Amino acid sequence: MLNRLALWWFRLTGWKVEGELPPAPKLILIGAPHTTNWDFVCMLAVMASFGVKASFMGKESLFKGPFRFIMRRLGGISIRRGVRESVVEQMAAAFAAAPSLVLVIAPAGTRHYSDHWKSGFYHIAQTARIPIVPARIDYPHQVVTMGPPLLVGNDLTSDMDVLRRFYAGGKGKYPDQASEIRLIEETAGPQGSRAT
């Protein structure tokens, strides 16, 4: 229901999607630049336009009580903090258990400026061995462009360079709030901590 409402709003306001979503049953879709809550609605609409149900991560407390059913119907996946398994491990297990799963992530992790993206999306894709599909938001032209799938390897900087080139043409609703497309590990070296 929410996906259909998002798609109705998307089309009514003149937005369009360019490019295709690969037929892979499991993937991580990353949306950027992320500068407003409307970006989430855009991504729901994009997924609905391809006839795909989007999933997203949420903290465990959101899945308790009467909200549990609603959150799961919306595609929410409960993430437990303070347990032995990391977020990366929990999501890799969720991908392994599901016949199909499209996880939507805003890699910046915030609507406000940050000098880096959070790297959870990268490590989940690497651990679960699934592709990352970038989606570039361009508010001035009201277009969401789908990029080619990226199978990450062992060269983080090279993989991020591919994403930097793709996102170079995107512009968020509030351009000054767009985060830099960089992971902390790129400067911390191979022993850098995983930022989720």
194 belongs to a structural domain? no
Cβ atoms of 184 and 192 closer than 8 Å:
yes
- Residue 144 and residue 155: Cα distance in Å, rounded? 27
Q: CA torsion sign, 30 to 182 to 118 to 42?
A: negative
- Residue 29 and residue 118: Cα distance in Å, rounded? 14
75 belongs to a structural domain? yes
192, amino acid identity: G
149 belongs to a structural domain? yes
Instruction: Give the model's confidence band at 70: pLDDT under 50 very low, under 70 low, under 90 confident, else very high.
Output: low
196 belongs to a structural domain? no
Which pair of tokens denotes residue 104? 């939507």
pLDDT greater than 50 at residue 194: no
Which pair of tokens denotes residue 31? 């949306």
- Residue 100 and residue 175: Cα distance in Å, rounded? 34
148 belongs to a structural domain? yes
User: What CATH number did the domain enclosing 128 receive?
Assistant: 3.40.35
168 contact partners, CB below 8 Å, separation of at least 6:
none
125 belongs to a structural domain? yes
193 belongs to a structural domain? no
- Residue 28 and residue 31: Cα distance in Å, rounded? 10
Which pair of tokens denotes residue 47? 């997924």
Host H or E run for residue 28: strand 26-32
The predicted-structure confidence for 134-176, as pLDDT tens digits, reads as follows 999 999 999 999 999 999 988 999 999 999 999 998 899 999 9
158 belongs to a structural domain? yes
The predicted-structure confidence for 79-137, as pLDDT tens digits, reads as follows 777 666 688 988 899 999 999 999 999 999 889 999 999 999 999 999 999 999 999 99
* CB atoms closer than 10 angstroms to residue 107: 23
The predicted-structure confidence for 2-47, as pLDDT tens digits, reads as follows 667 777 888 888 899 999 999 899 999 999 999 998 888 888 888 8
> Residue 132's domain spans which residues?
2-188
Which pair of tokens denotes residue 100? 């199909």
What is the tally of structural domains in the chain?
1
pLDDT of residue 76: 63
Cβ atoms of 163 and 92 closer than 8 Å:
no
pLDDT higher at 66 or 193: 66
